[in-house]
Amino acid sequence: MSDSEVRANVHRVIDERSESHLQDLCTLVAQPSISAHDEGVKECAQLLADMMKKRGIAAEVIPTPGQPVVYGELIEDPNAFTLLCYGHYDVQPTDPLDLWESPPFEPTLRDGRLYGRGTGDNKGQLIAHVFAASAWKEVAGRVPINLKFVFEGEEESGSPNLGHFVREHKDRLACDLVYISDGGLHPSGDPVISLGNRGVVGITMVAEGADRDNHSGNKGGVVPNPVWMLTHLLATMVDPEGNVLIDGFYDDVRPITEVETDLVARLPFDPVEFGQTMGVPRVEYSQQEYYQRIMLKPYFNISGISSGYVGPGSKTIIPATAECRIDVRMVADQRTADIVEKVKRHAAAVDPRVRVIAGGMGAMEPSRTAPDHPAVPAVARALEEVHGTPAHINASGGGSLPNAVWPGILGTSHIGAPYANADENNHSPNENLAVDCFHRGIHASAEVFWHLGQMAEDA
């Protein structure tokens, strides 16, 4: 068979196996793996490893101080190009449960989408690499390159042990490139290449008033109210337009270059369609501002706040404590430790009664791969073959994949190419993966393997 016949057969086999691929994904999704609650994660690791072994990949479950890493290898030729595919099999918590139209761990097909927690984020994407490798093995007896798989179980909890794991297994993980499929395609459906990610650091703020709840009638006016403390402190940190007011917060933000502005200008933009993917009538920003705010600017988010009583009826109290959770989304070259320090200093100056605690999620540094890396055009060609349309190149994604470990520890660059539909509702109720996106992802991985092999041969 010619190379092109082999490739065609690989894609034909992927199509023929579509039913069993979907079935295997359902099996994976049906296994809860909420790292935040330590719910079912280890069971999911074993299930995933077994699924990989069944397809001829030397897979094992490697313990860490937290949740295990599922590691696998397909080494065809020790001298050949080696791609490390990174993904995560843990998922977000499911609440609010009552907003799910079908139970989160009962994968359900509706209107061409598979609904369930973890369908898009990230089980349906990491398994695409496995299925693509399997198809190459079946058709050609081998994959065009060497593959290593690192599927971790703590990404949704901030990957607290990934750095340690990579450092400990540095030699074993040696590779030429790290490839990550996570997040969604461009809302237009076009493929996307992501060369970096924002950083993130979690901060918890706890305000303490009295050591007990007090009656708001009998004591209202003389007992400190921790919700008011938090409110007033937060209002000094960020203005109503979202600008961060903390001294020095923007010091290390890399200025946006003309090249970046041009890249952004080439991205498609439909404010109504984009709005629908996030649940607002339309995006209220210009194209340039929209993309810059997601990719190239930091964001100071409040992900949760809680104090007192908001249940049925009423409870007339001055609450004893109030807590809020913040995740700061950073861009190069901000550093997590520096940002935490600045937030703490600000809070101490404004209201020393509020405790500021870093953590709650693993801190991740922002990370970017140079746009002239030789693998970029190879991956771009692969995606274009599958999608029939060129990939958009993002200097950075908005999210915070733990990419900094690859250049930082392995000295390897990373390229991301998400496979999910943009409205996958990751981290929300009714998370889903469009079935055609799922199948296309498997084809994409198969093509990426091929084109990287070609690139290595041509080099």
Name residue 437's amino acid: C
Q: Per DSSP, what are the bridge partners of residue 199?
A: 330
Q: Which residue has the tokens 């984020």?
A: 121
Distance CA 226, CA 276 (A): 36
CB of 437 to a second copy, least distance (A): 16
Distance CA 383, CA 451 (A): 10
Complex with a second copy: residue 83 or 229, whichever CB lies closer: 229
Distance CA 149, CA 132 (A): 13
Complex with a second copy: residue 24 or 424, whichever CB lies closer: 424
Complex with a second copy: residue 108 or 400, whichever CB lies closer: 400
Handedness of CA 53, 91, 20, 87 (dihedral sign): negative
CB of 340 to a second copy, least distance (A): 15
**Token reading at 302:** 């409040």
Q: How many CA atoms lie within 13 A of 357 on its CB side?
A: 11
Complex with a second copy: residue 167 or 215, whichever CB lies closer: 215
CB of 279 to a second copy, least distance (A): 4
CB of 228 to a second copy, least distance (A): 6
Distance CA 128, CA 168 (A): 27
CB of 206 to a second copy, least distance (A): 10
For strands 414-416 and 177-180, give the pairing. parallel
Complex with a second copy: residue 82 or 403, whichever CB lies closer: 403
Cβ(335)–Cβ(255) below 8 Å: no
CB of 392 to a second copy, least distance (A): 15
Q: DSSP 3-state assignment of 382?
A: helix
Complex with a second copy: residue 147 or 246, whichever CB lies closer: 246
Distance CA 291, CA 270 (A): 12
Cβ(109)–Cβ(432) below 8 Å: no
Complex with a second copy: residue 146 or 181, whichever CB lies closer: 181
CB of 305 to a second copy, least distance (A): 5
